[in-house]
């Protein structure tokens, strides 16, 4: 049963994702999605890809999910936000995600205690090999992705502006 | 030192992808549709990393890096569209925006 951590993490990822799709409340779904992403990061670690595991936690579970939280909060400004917050952050809402996250943390600590921080995979590809391939073979792809991010920035700025009535825009030269 | 069977990793990626697809097809709240899209992109990235780990090449991880970039750009534009939809129709129902005002 050397592969037990992988199956355990995979079960957690699938369970959390199932809960994301079936939640009715957007914030509850977000909490479960963060747990699911962390579980997938754990799978990456077990597969021997520590660089991608770190990226998954920092960018996916960190940055992208924070964007979602911001937008959900912005959409709710007009209503009775305080009561809404009470409902969203009731103990029942965060108990489920935190129990799953604690399970993942326990597994992670167990693996680190047993293997001393190294990944357990037989075929590990470290950040060094990944970085060398990224900036030699795939240099053009890196440039293109920077342009894609710039286009995303400009597009989000343009679309995110307040909607103005057509008449007021028409009068300008 | 353990090796995870490639089939099992791909099955996990497939299950996650199908869950995301079911979410896109069944939910009509546009925030949930975006969340399910994220799940699907993530599952595709997982499949790439599993395959890259099997053949001990960094290419799988680099594909995941590109998927991550694409997901970040897609989410920023998609959430700006969500804000516009909410301003114009006062709802998050994706069906509210199914008519074009030509």
Q: What is the pLDDT of residues A30-52, one digit of tens each?
A: 999 999 999 999 999 988 888 99
- Test mutation, A2, A7, A10, A76, chain B, max B CBs within 10 A: A10
Confidence of residue B51 (pLDDT cuts 50, 70, 90): very high
**How confident is residue A92, by pLDDT bands cut at 50, 70 and 90?**
confident
Closest Cα in chain B to A137: B59
> Is residue A168 over pLDDT 60?
no
The answer to whether the beta carbons of residues A99 and B30 sit under 8 Å apart is: no
Provide the pLDDT for residue A164: 61
Q: Which among A7, A144, A9 has a CA at the least distance from the CA of B5?
A: A7
For chain A, the average pLDDT equals 84
Q: Which residues neighbour B66 within 8 Å (Cβ) at sequence distance 6 or greater?
A: A141, A145
**Which residues 66-125 in chain A show a CB within 8 A of chain B?**
67-68, 71-72, 74-75, 120-123, 125
Q: What is the mean pLDDT of residues B53-62?
A: 90
pLDDT at A77: 58
For residue B31, give the chain A residue with the closest CA.
A26
In this complex, do A17 and B54 lie within 8 Å of one another by their Cβ atoms? no
| Residue A163 pLDDT level (bands cut at 50, 70, 90) | low
DSSP assigned state of B93: B
Res. B7: pLDDT tops 60: yes
Q: What is the pTM of this model?
A: 0.86
Query: What one-character DSSP code corresponds to residue B97?
Result: G
Architecture label for domain A4-124 = Up-down Bundle (1.20)
Distance CA A5, CA A18 (A): 20
Identify whether the C-beta of residue B6 lies closer than 8 Å to the C-beta of residue B50.
yes
Grade residue A55 by pLDDT with cuts at 50, 70 and 90.
very high
Q: Residue A123: what are its φ and ψ, rounded to 5°?
A: -115, 75
Question: What's the burial of A2, exposed, middle or buried (CB within 10 Å: 0-12/13-18/19+)?
Answer: exposed
């Amino acid at each position: 049963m050397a592969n037990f951590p992988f199956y355990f993490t995979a079960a957690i990822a699938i369970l959390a994702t199932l809960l994301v799709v079936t939640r009715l409340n957007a914030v509850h779904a977000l909490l479960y999605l963060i747990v699911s992403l962390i579980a997938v990061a754990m799978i990456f670690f077990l597969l021997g890809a520590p660089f991608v595991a770190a990226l998954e936690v920092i960018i996916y579970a960190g940055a992208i999910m924070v964007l979602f939280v911001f937008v959900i909060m912005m959409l709710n400004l007009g209503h009775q936000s305080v009561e809404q917050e009470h409902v969203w952050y009731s103990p029942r809402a965060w108990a489920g995600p935190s129990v799953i996250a604690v399970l993942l943390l326990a597994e992670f600590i167990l693996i680190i205690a047993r293997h001393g921080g190294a990944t357990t995979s037989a075929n590990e590809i470290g950040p060094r090999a990944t970085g060398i391939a990224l900036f030699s073979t795939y240099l053009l792809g890196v440039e293109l992705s920077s342009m894609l991010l710039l286009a995303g920035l400009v597009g989000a700025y343009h679309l995110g502006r307040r909607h103005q009535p057509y008449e007021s825009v028409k009068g300008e030269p | 030192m353990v090796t995870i069977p490639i089939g099992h990793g791909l099955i996990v990626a497939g299950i996650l992808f199908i869950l995301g697809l079911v979410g896109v097809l069944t939910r009509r709240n546009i925030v949930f549709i975006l969340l399910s899209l994220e799940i699907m992109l993530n599952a595709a990235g997982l499949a790439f990393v599993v395959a890259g780990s099997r053949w001990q090449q960094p290419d799988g991880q680099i594909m995941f890096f590109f998927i991550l970039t694409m997901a970040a750009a897609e989410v920023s534009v998609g959430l700006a569209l969500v804000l516009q939809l909410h301003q114009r129709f006062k709802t998050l129902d994706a069906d509210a925006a199914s008519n074009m005002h030509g």
